[in-house]
């Protein structure tokens, strides 16, 4: 400062330049936030592209194995069973092609149908199966006697009068099994070794039991609720996959970047350290890299593990770098802790699914409130 000026004038001049420098740095940070959306957008597009590839491979696996199956016992004419009991035991498994996967299954379906007073000598019965490629075997018995079926149409003749029909099917499929009723008195039961089934169809199960590694679901249709579309359905799709969860991590990316920059700025003010704008930009590269690392690691070790590895790596990098330019350990640890907490909060929100928007909004409000408390007494002249 000029020695000829009064101390008050020198102080005002210093405050002016400090304020100008602070505003300039804030402007550069805001510009950096906008620019950082370019790599974020590129990583997001990469996730979408990988997801499209995964979907394509999934469809190929399912098509080569057998598509989602729809099963029903149908008659050629108007005859309907007076009573029907259908049970299915499903054994799903995950098939891989490289890093991509799909759920396929083997099933054993047992159809018991009772027919009364059949008068049409040409009446035929056949198991309707949407993808016959998945058929391993079909065994049919009528009134306790085994009968042969037409290999192309899968049809067999129904005897006149009363009869008891039993059809046993070994069937491959993928991701979904739907069983349709063909009677006003139908009981459908699907069980399998799968801990996270999804129940669909035009009616939810009347009874269901879901445990860690198995499930049982039962549907009952009668003359009041049965119709041509009455069926039970179980989905074996994997819950939110790697790419879906990775894409969801971008939801609050902008906010957490703002929190990160703001934390660095508060650290600079508190420690009275002049942090160069280039150091801000270099430090911000780590949170952006986090999203790419999450995708890369998740493909190999799963989303949860990949997320944790990426978060810890980025937190360690940022903490060490802040220790270098702040020259103090405690502020660097606090910045690293804030970054780690933001990743933990983001991960918890991702796992809440249906409550994600509600919980995310509450968390953002709490974070903003905490920042207001922490910064409310900062002297802007320091």
For the cut 70, the answer to whether the pLDDT of residue 345 exceeds it is yes
213/86 same-domain check: yes
277/195 same-domain check: no
Q: How far apart are CA 152 and CA 138, in angstroms?
A: 12
Task: Count CB atoms within 10 A of the CB of residue 169.
Answer: 23
Q: How far apart are CA 64 and CA 87, in angstroms?
A: 26
Strand order from edge to edge, sheet including 231-235: 156-157, 124-129, 69-75, 176-180, 231-235, 198-201
Would residue 2 count as lying in a domain?
Answer: no
Q: How far apart are CA 7 and CA 164, in angstroms?
A: 108
- Radius of gyration of the chain, Cα coordinates, nearest whole angstrom: 32
Would residue 382 count as lying in a domain?
Answer: no
Taking the whole predicted model, whether its pTM rises above 0.85 is answered as no
Structure tokens at 53: 């590839």
Question: In the predicted model, what is the mean pLDDT of residues 128-150?
Answer: 91
pLDDT of residue 357: 65
The SS3 call for residue 92 is strand
261/324 same-domain check: yes
**CATH, residue 80:** 2.60.40
Task: Tell me which residue range forms the domain holding 183.
Answer: 67-235
The last residue of a domain, from among 202, 235, 268: 235
- At residue 201 the predicted structure's pLDDT band, cuts being 50, 70 and 90, is confident
41/103 same-domain check: no
For the cut 70, the answer to whether the pLDDT of residue 364 exceeds it is no
Q: How far apart are CA 69 and CA 240, in angstroms?
A: 22
The last residue of a domain, from among 209, 235, 261: 235
pLDDT digits (tens, 9 = 90+) for 232-247: 999 987 755 677 788 8
Would residue 147 count as lying in a domain?
Answer: yes
pLDDT of residue 112: 95
Would residue 21 count as lying in a domain?
Answer: no
Would residue 350 count as lying in a domain?
Answer: yes
Dihedrals phi, psi of 170, to nearest 5 degrees: -105, 120
Structure tokens at 376: 């409310």
31/131 same-domain check: no
For the cut 90, the answer to whether the pLDDT of residue 313 exceeds it is yes
89/217 same-domain check: yes
Instruction: Calculate the alpha carbon distances from 118 to 86, 286, 293, 311 in Å.
Output: 21, 75, 67, 69
In the block, residue with structure tokens 């058929």? 135
From 13-22, 108-117, 186-195, the region with the lowest mean pLDDT: 13-22
246/231 same-domain check: no
292/224 same-domain check: no
Q: How many domains does the chain have?
A: 2
49/83 same-domain check: no
The beta-strand segments (E) located in the chain are 69-75, 83-97, 100-118, 124-129, 135-142, 145-147, 156-157, 161-174, 176-180, 186-192, 198-201, 207-210, 215-221, 231-235
319/195 same-domain check: no
Would residue 50 count as lying in a domain?
Answer: yes
Would residue 17 count as lying in a domain?
Answer: no
pLDDT of residue 331: 84
Structure tokens at 304: 């949860």
Would residue 7 count as lying in a domain?
Answer: no
224/246 same-domain check: no
Q: How far apart are CA 183 and CA 113, in angstroms?
A: 9
268/122 same-domain check: no
Q: Give the residue ranges of DSSP H helices in 163-276.
A: 242-248, 253-271
The last residue of a domain, from among 193, 217, 235: 235
CB 206 within 8 A of CB 216: no
pLDDT digits (tens, 9 = 90+) for 174-194: 999 999 998 889 999 999 998
């Amino acid at each position: 400062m000029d020695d000829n000026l009064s101390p008050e004038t020198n102080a005002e001049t210093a405050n002016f330049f400090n304020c100008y420098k602070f505003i300039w740095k804030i402007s550069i940070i805001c510009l950096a936030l906008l620019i950082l959306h370019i790599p974020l957008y590129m990583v997001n597009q990469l996730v979408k592209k990988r997801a499209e590839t995964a979907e394509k491979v999934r469809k190929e696996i399912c098509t080569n194995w057998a598509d989602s199956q729809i099963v029903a016992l149908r008659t050629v004419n108007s005859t309907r069973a007076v009573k029907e009991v259908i049970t299915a035991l499903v054994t799903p498994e995950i098939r891989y092609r490289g890093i991509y996967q799909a759920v396929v299954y083997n099933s054993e379906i047992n159809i018991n149908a009772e027919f009364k007073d059949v008068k049409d000598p040409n009446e035929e019965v056949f198991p309707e199966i949407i993808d016959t490629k998945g058929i391993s075997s079909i065994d049919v018995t009528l009134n306790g006697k085994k009968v042969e079926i037409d290999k192309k149409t899968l049809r067999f003749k129904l005897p006149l009068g009363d009869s008891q029909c039993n059809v046993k099917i070994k069937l491959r499929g993928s991701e979904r099994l739907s069983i349709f009723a063909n009677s006003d008195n139908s009981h459908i039961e699907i069980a399998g070794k799968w801990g996270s089934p999804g129940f669909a169809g035009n009616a939810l199960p009347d009874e269901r039991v879901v445990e860690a590694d198995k499930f049982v679901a039962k549907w009952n249709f009668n003359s009041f609720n049965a119709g041509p579309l009455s069926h039970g359905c179980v989905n074996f799709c994997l819950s939110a996959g790697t790419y879906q969860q990775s894409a969801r991590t971008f939801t609050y990316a902008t906010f957490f970047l703002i929190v990160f920059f703001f934390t660095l700025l508060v650290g600079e003010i508190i420690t009275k350290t002049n942090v160069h704008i280039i150091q801000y930009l270099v430090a911000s590269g780590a949170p952006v890299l986090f999203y790419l690392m999450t995708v890369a690691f998740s493909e190999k070790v799963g989303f949860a593990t990949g997320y944790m590895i990426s978060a810890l790596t980025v937190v360690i990098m940022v903490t060490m770098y802040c220790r270098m330019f702040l020259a103090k350990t405690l502020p660097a640890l606090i910045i690293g802790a804030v970054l780690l907490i933001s990743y933990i909060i983001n991960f918890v929100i991702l796992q809440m699914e249906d409550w994600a928007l509600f919980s995310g909004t509450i968390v953002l409000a709490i974070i903003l409130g905490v920042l207001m408390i922490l910064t409310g007494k900062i002297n802007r002249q320091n």
